[in-house]
């Protein structure tokens, strides 16, 4: 089979060579492209004749899937697959396998870091001290004793919950289903309305799909209060970000820490959250760490090996 990795995945060429060795040793052809492209024509060219294509989080749209005549399987170095033309994949019976779990710890740790900054004004304090300022007015708050609401208690949400508990927070959650592991940890399941209205910190950890797009609408945002800290390290389109910006500017919401937007960075200058008060914005970096990139690379190659062995893993439901 011909197998191609269409873009860099955050690890060195040496790691790529090591991970691809089991594939080439079995007699399969492996091609690696060390430059990123979002051009559909170039993606189609790189996919030509490939039985298996490996990608990360750059779009692999319907028009590319349509032209990939030999394609049987996509191994995605990412958790979400909303950047792929999944309907066309389903139509052509192309299997998609993701890298679920690689960034659980990394994303959860950034969520904690964002919460600490929102409560202790770390970024603001850095600016003050560099400009001759003092700690006057920087009285912060602790995570300990606060109520944290997790919306979406999957693997990342559960990891974040555990870390918040380690700081002494009470954790409540909204999720479609309940897990015994979460209950054993003392996490209480509540309605969405109760999570939004009673939490000091709200962390959004839902996947993006047809059901969750626009999930956190203006009326749901309005359920949070003027002191609530809202954190989104999930997906931007799950939230009405214009309504989020308005709530911040109107003093109806305390603070927002946002790593994901309605588009991938760079963000247009007129994007509402860029002008919103009391925000900490990061450029979709939650999933990135040295450790997570190595985990991700291993998973995405293991997906290919498992498929070649006739025992596919991490198969996404289409």
Q: Which of 238, 242, 247 is nearest to 278 (CA)?
A: 247
3-state secondary structure of 307: helix
- In terms of Cβ atoms closer than 10 Å to its own Cβ (0-12, 13-18, 19+), residue 160 is buried
DSSP code of residue 315: B
3-state secondary structure of 192: helix
Active-site annotation holder among 83, 146, 284, 295: 284
Q: Is 235 a catalytic residue?
A: yes
Q: Which of 94, 104, 108 is nearest to 55 (CA)?
A: 94
Sign of the torsion formed by the C-alpha atoms of 52, 58, 62 and 63: negative
Cβ(86)–Cβ(318) under 8 Å?
A: yes
Active-site annotation holder among 121, 235, 295, 296: 235
Active-site annotation holder among 42, 48, 66, 264: 264
3-state secondary structure of 317: coil
Q: Is 264 a catalytic residue?
A: yes
Provide the edge-to-edge strand list for the sheet that holds 52-55. Answer: 29-32, 2-5, 52-55, 73-76, 95-97
Rg (CA), the chain: 21
Q: Is 83 a catalytic residue?
A: no
Q: Which two tokens stand for residue 68?
A: 């990939």
Q: Which two tokens stand for residue 76?
A: 């995605």
Q: Which two tokens stand for residue 205?
A: 């950890």
Cβ(114)–Cβ(280) under 8 Å?
A: yes
Dist. CA 32–CA 46, nearest whole Å: 10
Q: Which two tokens stand for residue 194?
A: 């109760």
Active-site residues, by number, are 235, 264, 284
């Amino acid at each position: 089979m011909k197998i191609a990795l269409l873009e860099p995945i955050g690890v060195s060429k040496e790691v790529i060579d090591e991970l691809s060795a089991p594939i080439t040793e079995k007699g399969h052809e492996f091609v690696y492209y060390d430059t990123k492209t979002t051009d559909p024509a170039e993606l189609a060219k790189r996919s030509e004749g490939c039985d298996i294509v490996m990608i990360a989080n750059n779009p692999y749209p319907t028009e590319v899937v349509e032209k990939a005549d030999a394609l049987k399987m996509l191994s995605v170095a990412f958790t979400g697959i909303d950047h792929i033309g999944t309907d066309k994949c389903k139509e052509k019976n192309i299997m998609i396998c993701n890298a679920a779990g690689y960034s659980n710890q990394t994303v959860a740790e950034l969520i904690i870091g964002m919460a600490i900054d929102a409560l202790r004004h770390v970024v603001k304090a850095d600016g003050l001290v560099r400009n001759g300022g003092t700690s006057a007015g920087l009285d912060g708050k602790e995570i300990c004793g606060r109520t944290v609401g997790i919306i979406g208690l999957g693997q990342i949400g559960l990891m974040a919950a555990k870390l918040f508990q380690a700081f002494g927070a009470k954790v409540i959650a909204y999720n479609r289903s309940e897990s015994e592991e979460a209950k054993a940890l003392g996490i209480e399941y509540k309605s969405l309305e109760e999570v939004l209205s009673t939490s000091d910190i709200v962390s959004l950890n839902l996947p993006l799909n047809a059901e969750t797009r626009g999930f956190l609408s203006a009326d749901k945002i309005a359920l949070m209060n003027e002191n609530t800290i809202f954190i989104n390290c999930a997906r931007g389109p799950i939230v009405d970000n214009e309504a989020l910006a308005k709530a911040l500017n109107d003093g109806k919401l305390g603070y927002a820490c946002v790593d994901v937007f309605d588009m991938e960075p760079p963000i247009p200058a007129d994007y509402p959250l860029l002008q919103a008060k009391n925000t900490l914005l990061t450029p979709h970096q939650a999933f990135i760490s040295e450790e997570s990139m190595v985990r991700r690379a291993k998973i995405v190659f293991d997906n290919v090996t498992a498929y070649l062995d006739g025992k596919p893993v991490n198969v996404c439901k289409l």
